[in-house]
């Protein structure tokens, strides 16, 4: 093989390795482009859903610990109502995000309430959760630069915050899946990672049941 051909092959190989290392962040996109291409099928399915529920496994990777902190539980999301996040192991704890703000319930007793009006960060986190669950990349695109790539039936999108107020907390977010959102990885400003793996997701196009409304109101 001639030198020029070897040089082209080497350049292509290096570009491929660089793209793999960059993950989705080597492929900038807009929300509209993502919805027309790699997210068209899952986003269309989620658009019809009024409620989602499933299980999660959360891994918290901290620099000072050799092993990640693991928590498992269940979640319920209802459109226009909020997110119910119930950790069952290693302890019982509930976090509810709704329009009013955030409430944390530990071992059945209310431990914390934060108003979205008084704490803008609470509203931001609640909106981020909601947009990630529904793949509302148009909404996410208001606060984040968007990226995306597809390999076969699997897709990965990336988010990098634009505003320094968000970048002070979040470095970037990566979301992966196929038909559903299967994994969310959040890297904070210190470089520590939180990985959420979602499973057994069920959709419903019906209005939320009364028991779901009760959960999301914190009752």
- Record the tokens describing residue 2, joined without a space: 């001639």
Residue 16 has pLDDT above 60, yes or no: no
DSSP structural state of residue 205: -
How far is 66 from 219, CA to CA, in rounded Å? 38
pLDDT in tens, 143-171: 899 999 999 889 999 999 988 888 888 99
Q: Are the beta carbons of 158 and 172 closer than 8 angstroms?
A: yes
Which phi and psi (to 5°) does residue 189 adopt? -65, -20
Supply the pLDDT for residue 15. Answer: 42
The model's confidence at residue 98, banded by pLDDT at 50, 70 and 90, is confident
What is the rounded average pLDDT of the residues 195-213? 86
CATH topology of domain 25-217: outer membrane lipoprotein receptor (LolB), chain A (2.50.20)
Please tell me the pTM assigned to this model. Answer: 0.81
With 0-12 / 13-18 / 19 or more C-beta atoms within 10 angstroms meaning exposed / middle / buried, residue 159 is buried
Of 36, 6, 24, 15, the residue nearest 154 (C-alpha):
24
Alpha-helical regions (H) of the chain: 3-22, 31-36, 40-47, 120-134, 137-140, 164-167, 210-217
- Lowest mean pLDDT segment, chosen from 17-21, 67-71, 175-179: 17-21
- Lowest mean pLDDT segment, chosen from 24-28, 86-90, 214-218: 214-218
How far is 32 from 184, CA to CA, in rounded Å? 21
How far is 148 from 194, CA to CA, in rounded Å? 20
What is the rounded average pLDDT of the residues 73-85? 89
How far is 75 from 171, CA to CA, in rounded Å? 25
């Amino acid at each position: 093989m001639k030198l020029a051909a070897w040089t082209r092959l080497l350049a292509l190989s290096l570009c491929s390795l660089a793209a793999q290392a960059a993950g989705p962040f080597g492929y900038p996109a807009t929300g509209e482009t993502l919805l027309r291409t790699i997210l068209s099928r899952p986003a269309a399915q989620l658009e019809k859903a009024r409620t989602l529920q499933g299980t999660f496994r959360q891994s918290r990777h901290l620099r000072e610990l050799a092993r990640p902190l693991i928590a498992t539980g269940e979640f319920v999301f209802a459109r226009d109502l909020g997110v119910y996040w119930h950790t069952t192991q290693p302890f019982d704890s509930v976090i509810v995000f709704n329009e009013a703000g955030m409430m944390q319930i530990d071992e059945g007793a209310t431990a914390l309430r934060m108003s979205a009006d008084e704490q803008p960060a609470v509203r931001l986190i609640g909106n981020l959760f909601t947009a990630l669950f529904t793949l509302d990349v148009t909404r996410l695109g208001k606060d984040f630069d968007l990226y995306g790539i597809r390999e076969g039936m699997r897709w990965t999108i990336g988010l990098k915050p634009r505003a320094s107020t968000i970048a002070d907390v979040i470095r970037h977010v990566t979301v992966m899946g196929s038909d559903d959102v299967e994994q969310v990885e959040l890297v904070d400003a210190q470089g520590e990672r939180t990985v959420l793996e979602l499973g057994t997701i069920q959709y419903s196009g019906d209005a939320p049941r009364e028991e779901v409304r009760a959960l999301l109101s914190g009752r």
